[in-house]
Structure 1
């Protein structure tokens, strides 16, 4: 008999939220017992930051699918069901499949890890392991994965050679676990930067300096996405040895059904895009996604893929959907739903559109 989803859900909810000590020791031991499925995915885009991670993942997922590529998406948290967190080709994993992976495959390995380390894998690590297994079994060539919390010690930070690393922005959030200052939080989030992997960020100020420093240490090319008029130009350049490429975006139209923006690339070429997500802050998220695609196509560590062109980029941004972000629920009175959960997110929501 197939595993019962309710049993799998109870298993997840009964697992610890945080481990006895931070680090990658639990997830690495778990993945090793499972045959290191994370190494079977050829192209992984790793997305971290304070706000906008899920939206950037959604944009990239839509663009890659518009290019005709098979792609998996891993996000957190979910709105309605755990299955939303793992999707392939835009379709969430089936509950029975996730239950099987968790109860029949991951749980026995997790028990062995707990016995070995005295530190059992936590809920997010169990889900991350199931996600990598699902990707391996389906032979998915592309994965866009969102950091769960922080970066350096996050369970997703096990991919040794990502195709690209994204740090959307950095602000105060989860300060008890990540640090009390923007600089400390940025250093934690920059922990996902890997040698040679292109880094794309919309971070500014002191956070940008931390990201640039980490990129320089890793020998990773850096692309900075900033609004016009440019408020951040030169900030990353203050870090000696960091080669920086700037993308500048400008809002052209913001409305309830989405918006339009102009993007200037490092060569000065200007393109205009329409985004199907409402809110001005989503224009920045879309600009970050566009810069990622550019770096995959033309950057120093490019991974060109058939079909990944300007037409796919435009089509993906036009078609992207991401519920719970400035979602208007009609009625009397109308209700606006948004997942903003920190001060920076609330400021962005207030600017809205």
Structure 2
């Protein structure tokens, strides 16, 4: 992601990056060997909520954490990737309060011990960092651990948990085709790999029937107690409230703090997952969780900071790391909802890496956005050339221009709308790497 601030843990991880490959080499052999050398810490965790999916897994993780913490439980959380600092991947639970990002000395010590246990054997850095998750979570007591899958499911390094309290599979769409397959049913089969025989499974809202069918058939084959969105639980907005329903009845809840209608289904999946995992949380705790949930870099509004000063006066500036066509669709729907409430011209500032499919992403915004500005991504060596990305946007039908930075794009937009009475709405997105750079440059990293 963005350049990591100077830290002892960052130094240890950068040393590993120089020795081991950055990417993914999907297999469980190396992580299994390493965990055995560490005494199998993954077998000493509190109950685990294991979350996979193409889109929405981060939101489901955030909602689950918020609800459980509102109930007074201590919650470990593993997410990836980070936006600004490596520490964001490891949140350690605090009894009766909100968890805190791991301290630098504790993380640095854990990284050193895992690297030593690996003994120089061939391994990816993601696998080392996943082993760090299990070591930290085993050594610090908590009531529950929420562990987000990195890539896929079946061969993801997190998939060494023998008996999860619940496996959650969120919406599936095309992404990481080089690793997971070029059809949604193939990707669904990989994500379904986190399901374990006889363990509860929650299946979030699926736009693709083929993906849903694969997930359901896998859960049935493994004899998993199964809860499917739209069949066993659901949620919708009614009179400005969120109505949630499962086999236990109806709950009248506040709308989630995270913006966008797509978050209703994500929140519903989290509620069902927490219950399926065996936590009897009260409706009051669910209410507090939905009202207080936070998930940086996903439809996050920037209201202050260094970069905001470059934009037009009164502009609404949003950042979102969604980077595939499915994510583009839900983000565009959220922007359309904002437009219904308050009409403003929409401008896009987009950067992407070369494993993504920009055409589908841009197409989702075709009837919404006025203009697209494409930017380089400083935090990745795989960033798409802004000129080529602007050409992709133009091929969809946008007026598109390549610029040198987000700050320049904001300045150009400010000059464009100088006489416009309605301050614009600006979305900065297309990549979590770009969002990480923006949050770092703005002086508002996740905490």
Tell me the TM-score normalized by structure 1. 0.84
CA displacement at 1:266 relative to structure 2 = 2.8
Residue of structure 2 in register with 1:83 after alignment: 87
Residue of structure 1 in register with 2:176 after alignment: 174
Structure 2: runs of 5 or more not aligned: 1-6, 94-98, 338-447
Residue of structure 2 in register with 1:98 after alignment: 107
Q: How does 1:162-201 map to 2 (within 5 A)?
A: 162-201=164-203
Q: What per-residue deviation string (whole Å, max 9, x for no partner) do you get for residues 232-272 of structure 1? A: x5xxxxxxxxxxxx11211237xxxxx742112135x2212
Alpha-carbon distance in structure 2 between the residues aligned to 1:29 and 1:208: 33
Aligned with 1:340 (options 294, 319, 322): 322
Residue of structure 2 in register with 1:145 after alignment: 147
Cα RMSD between the aligned structures? 1.7
Larger Rg: 2
Residue of structure 2 in register with 1:249 after alignment: 235
Q: How does 1:1-353 map to 2 (within 5 A)?
A: 4-14=8-18, 15-18=20-23, 22-89=26-93, 90-103=99-112, 105-111=113-119, 114=121, 120-202=122-204, 203-204=206-207, 205-226=209-230, 246-252=232-238, 260-266=241-247, 269-274=249-254, 275-296=256-277, 303-304=278-279, 308-330=281-303, 331=308, 332=312, 333-352=315-334, 353=337
Checking the alignment, whether the CA contact within 8 Å between 1:41 and 1:141 is kept in structure 2 is no
Matched position secondary structure for 1:30:
helix
Checking the alignment, whether the CA contact within 8 Å between 2:13 and 2:111 is kept in structure 1 is no
Alpha-carbon distance in structure 2 between the residues aligned to 1:127 and 1:339: 22
Checking the alignment, whether the CA contact within 8 Å between 1:326 and 1:337 is kept in structure 2 is yes
CA displacement at 1:340 relative to structure 2 = 0.8
Checking the alignment, whether the CA contact within 8 Å between 1:252 and 1:260 is kept in structure 2 is yes
Checking the alignment, whether the CA contact within 8 Å between 1:40 and 1:136 is kept in structure 2 is yes
Alpha-carbon distance in structure 2 between the residues aligned to 1:10 and 1:179: 31
Moved more, 322-331 or 73-82: 322-331
CA displacement at 1:224 relative to structure 2 = 0.9
CA displacement at 1:287 relative to structure 2 = 0.9
Structure 1: runs of 5 or more not aligned: 115-119, 227-232, 234-245, 254-258, 297-302
Alpha-carbon distance in structure 2 between the residues aligned to 1:125 and 1:214: 26
- Cα 1:216–1:87 change in 2 (3 A) is same
CA displacement at 1:12 relative to structure 2 = 4.0
Checking the alignment, whether the CA contact within 8 Å between 2:251 and 2:283 is kept in structure 1 is no
CA displacement at 1:5 relative to structure 2 = 2.9
Q: What per-residue deviation string (whole Å, max 9, x for no partner) do you get for residues 15-36 of structure 1? A: 31236x5310011000000000
Tell me the TM-score normalized by structure 2. 0.67
CA displacement at 1:158 relative to structure 2 = 0.3
CA displacement at 1:6 relative to structure 2 = 4.0
Q: Which runs of 4+ in 1 moved over 4 A?
A: none
Alpha-carbon distance in structure 2 between the residues aligned to 1:294 and 1:17: 36
Checking the alignment, whether the CA contact within 8 Å between 2:9 and 2:111 is kept in structure 1 is no
Checking the alignment, whether the CA contact within 8 Å between 2:59 and 2:266 is kept in structure 1 is yes
Residue of structure 2 in register with 1:242 after alignment: none
Alpha-carbon distance in structure 2 between the residues aligned to 1:87 and 1:137: 13
CA displacement at 1:65 relative to structure 2 = 1.2
Alpha-carbon distance in structure 1 between the residues aligned to 2:34 and 2:27: 13
